[in-house]
Chains A and B, each alone.
Chain A
Amino acid sequence: MVTRRLFTKTAAGAAAGMILTACGPKRLYEAPRDKLKARIAEMERKYKEEGKDVKVSDAGPAQGVHFAYALDISRCIGCRRCVYACVAENNQSRDPQIQWIRVLSMEKDRGVDFSHANAYYHPAEVPEEGHFYIPVSCQQCENPPCTKVCPTGATWAEKDGIVVIDYDWCIGCRYCMAACPYGARHFNWTEPGLPAGELNPNTHYLGNRPRSKGVVEKCTFCIQRTRAGRYPACVEVCPVGARKFGNVLDPESEIRYIIEHKRVLVLKEELNTVPRFFYFYAT
């Protein structure tokens, strides 16, 4: 029986809940445009107070765009220039060292075999005899195991295919890191160490803006560049042109050409993550 007391109590509770949710900080996921702009202005202000003069872009996904990446493993020589270009572009912590790209040296006579891979090779020159190289970073899966396990919904796949993280919402439980089959996610175990002179001021709210300790981060296909139409930093720096990037929905794109004319493969396909990061052999 609904008494007046019961009704008043319930209404008060609901109102309090709504007020708290409306006033309190919320996720950036599907934030309405005007609120988003305000939040980003707030972000820029806070960064400035910390001495980090950055611009934070709020570029959203474009219509008819679904990004894909292709990496030519007949060309990669394991020089790691992509790793360091990424670190510089995306404001990754130098100390402790975070690198979103991990280049694995594999033995030619074993083929692609992670249990015999080595990320710590350091010969005088590359490529080494009898080895080939597979760089691994976030595969931007279409069926991402990481987004479904996040308990707070702090990570999700955007409409253009990029899997992003809301650094202000992540509680650092690292369940997504356990779920990722590619070791693509990285955690800020302490406060990131980024020398002021090396800060890249062109950032995106879901991408390379400065992070704090206790949150997870990963490759975002250089969202601050790609949503402005540019190639990711790794694509541009690769000296042998092993990295290709584009819109898989565009029939004229390099990616579609590769899919059509080269044979692409993905890593750990049996896990059904459907990566948008292809590996292929151009020769």
Chain B
Amino acid sequence: MPHKKLVDSIRLFSSFARGSAGLILRGNRAYWIWLAFLAALIVSGALAWSRQLQIGLGLTAMRDQVSWGFYIGNFTFLVGVAAAAVVLVIPAYIYNWKPIREIVIYGELLATSAIAMCLMFVLVDIGRPDRFWHLIPPFGHLNFPRSVLAWDVLVLNLYFGVNFIVGTHILYRAFHGKSYIKRLVVPLVLLSIPMAVGIHTVTAFLYNGLASRPYWNSSILAPQFLASAFCSGPAILLVVLQLLGRFTRFEIQDAAIWKIAELMAYAMFLNLFLHGAEAFKEFYSGTQHLLFTRYWYFGVNGHYTLVPYAWSAVALNVAAFVLFISPSGRRNVITLNLGCLATYAGCYLEKGMGLIIPGLTPDTLGEIYEYYPTATELRVAAGIFAVGFLLFTLMLKVAVPISLGEFTGRKESSVGVFAGR
């Protein structure tokens, strides 16, 4: 009887909801300190944003000359992080490599949190957030297919949907002691591979397609985005997985971690190579377009704000590559984590500020306005990161016990936790 099924579903879901709430509200001191820290950042960010809503984007350091800045830089970086889930999916599903199978779900949860942060960064960056619905047909009008931003809106939300559906489906089914529906999950997961490449390619095309900005108008941009994405996302994941292994009964195979680090090393090599190729083209051809690259690495006309960040990014990325390219570097827990940190920081610098600001400085009429974020921007960005981390933390708080079989709504187990049907 359909009526009984509906009642059953609601009952099951409410037990899941209640159970999840219980999990979330139970934790050790480290957990609560972490949550309090995130809450503080969120409150600070919310206050800063409300002031920005009142007074306008003039509270940021962005002006006509540099009309995109910290918010969009973070957005770009996080799209890369979201795309990185594919680094796990490919070995797991294409090469059917078992050690990674169990952790694909965490890549998807990371992707979901990252996309949520991306959407938040866009929301705080636009001049009229109250009009964001102008983008949503049929209420609004999406300039598809001419505007690359319209494409980005579509693929980001689609990717969000795919990851959210697959992640929650697998977990919820595992909660029930049921295996996930292969017919639903496997095609979506396989779809997420080209989609991951797609979201970051489209985001790269946002910049790539603008003839007015020679620094961005380079064919190398899309491949370079993907290369740096495939190192930065897994960097976070590796740290998180080790933390999970430390603080929960979750066990992750060393082989999985080492394999991911190895893939990151190759991605970082590609990233460095592509940056090098770009630098060669600019410096050797020596046209006026060199000005932007020059501003980033060496400063121009007495303006040096970004130079320390440029070389830090290079040093961090090279160090990360050196650490990860050797198997012993990957296996040593200290160098492994140093490498992750270096990757994350290096990619964050060169993808965030290192992409946006030099692209807009000097501006189209040759003027140099030195942009660096204001306190408002830093607070709002920190708040958004905190929301993302909070989402990820809470999702993990429920997902890990499910994967360990500790949090379950089933009466007795008859199948493995993450088995497909």
> Which residue from chain B places its CB closest to the CB of A20 in the assembled complex?
B139
> Contacts A171-B135, A186-B64 hold; do A114 and B364 have CB atoms under 8 A apart?
yes
Most buried by B among A151, A186, A272: A151
> Contacts A149-B149, A172-B128, A271-B211 hold; do A21 and B364 have CB atoms under 8 A apart?
no
Q: Is B319 an interface residue (CB 8 A)?
A: no
Contact of A190 among B58, B126, B138 (CB under 8 A): B58
Instruction: Collect the chain A residues with CB atoms within 8 Å of residue B212's CB.
Output: 145, 178-182, 271
| Interface range, A side | 35 or more
Docked-complex contact B56 and A17, CB < 8 angstroms: no
Q: Is B278 an interface residue (CB 8 A)?
A: no
In the docked arrangement, what's the CA distance between A214 and B127, Å? Answer: 4
Q: Is B134 an interface residue (CB 8 A)?
A: yes
Nearest Cβ distance between residue A87 and chain B, in whole angstroms? 15
Nearest Cβ distance between residue B88 and chain A, in whole angstroms? 31
Q: Is B285 an interface residue (CB 8 A)?
A: no
Q: What are the interface flags for A211-226 relative to B under an 8 Å C-beta threshold, 1 for contact and 0 otherwise?
A: 0011110000000000
Instruction: Collect the chain B residues with CB atoms within 8 Å of residue A115's CB.
Output: 288, 291, 362, 366
A sample of 9 cross-chain residue pairs with beta-carbon separation below 8 angstroms, ordered by A number, consists of A21-B138, A150-B149, A152-B142, A154-B134, A171-B126, A171-B129, A174-B127, A179-B212, A214-B128
> Which residue from chain A places its CB closest to the CB of B131 in the assembled complex?
A171
Given contacts A18-B138, A152-B143, 14 further A-B contacts (CB under 8 A): A20-B139, A27-B141, A104-B366, A114-B364, A114-B365, A114-B366, A119-B367, A153-B142, A179-B210, A186-B64, A188-B56, A188-B127, A213-B56, A213-B127
Docked-complex contact A178 and B128, CB < 8 angstroms: no
Docked-complex contact A96 and B58, CB < 8 angstroms: yes
Q: Is A116 an interface residue (CB 8 A)?
A: yes
Docked-complex contact A189 and B63, CB < 8 angstroms: yes
Most buried by B among A24, A102, A181, A189: A189
In the docked arrangement, what's the CA distance between A181 and B215, Å? Answer: 13
Most buried by A among B58, B125, B288: B58
Which residues of A are interface residues toward B (Cβ below 8 A)? 17-18, 20-21, 24, 27, 96, 102, 104, 113-117, 119, 136, 145, 148-154, 169-175, 177-183, 185-191, 213-216, 271-272
Docked-complex contact B67 and A152, CB < 8 angstroms: no
Nearest Cβ distance between residue A139 and chain B, in whole angstroms? 11
Among B284-308, those with CB < 8 Å from A are 288, 291
Q: A interface, by DSSP: helix, strand, loop or mixed?
A: loop
> Which residue from chain A places its CB closest to the CB of B122 in the assembled complex?
A173
> Contacts A149-B149, A151-B142, A174-B67 hold; do A181 and B364 have CB atoms under 8 A apart?
yes
Q: What are the interface flags for B50-80 relative to A under an 8 Å C-beta threshold, 1 for contact and 0 otherwise?
A: 0000011110001111011000000000000
Instruction: Collect the chain B residues with CB atoms within 8 Å of residue A182's CB.
Output: 212, 364-365
In the docked arrangement, what's the CA distance between A185 and B363, Å? Answer: 12
Instruction: Collect the chain A residues with CB atoms within 8 Å of residue B148's CB.
Output: 149
In the docked arrangement, what's the CA distance between A276 and B131, Å? Answer: 32
> Which residue from chain A places its CB closest to the CB of B62 in the assembled complex?
A189
> Contacts A174-B68, A178-B213 hold; do A190 and B56 have CB atoms under 8 A apart?
yes
In the docked arrangement, what's the CA distance between A102 and B365, Å? Answer: 9
> Which residue from chain B places its CB closest to the CB of A185 in the assembled complex?
B64
In the docked arrangement, what's the CA distance between A153 and B148, Å? Answer: 12
Instruction: Collect the chain B residues with CB atoms within 8 Å of residue A96's CB.
Output: 58
Among B107-156, those with CB < 8 Å from A are 122, 125-129, 131-132, 134-135, 138-143, 146-150, 153
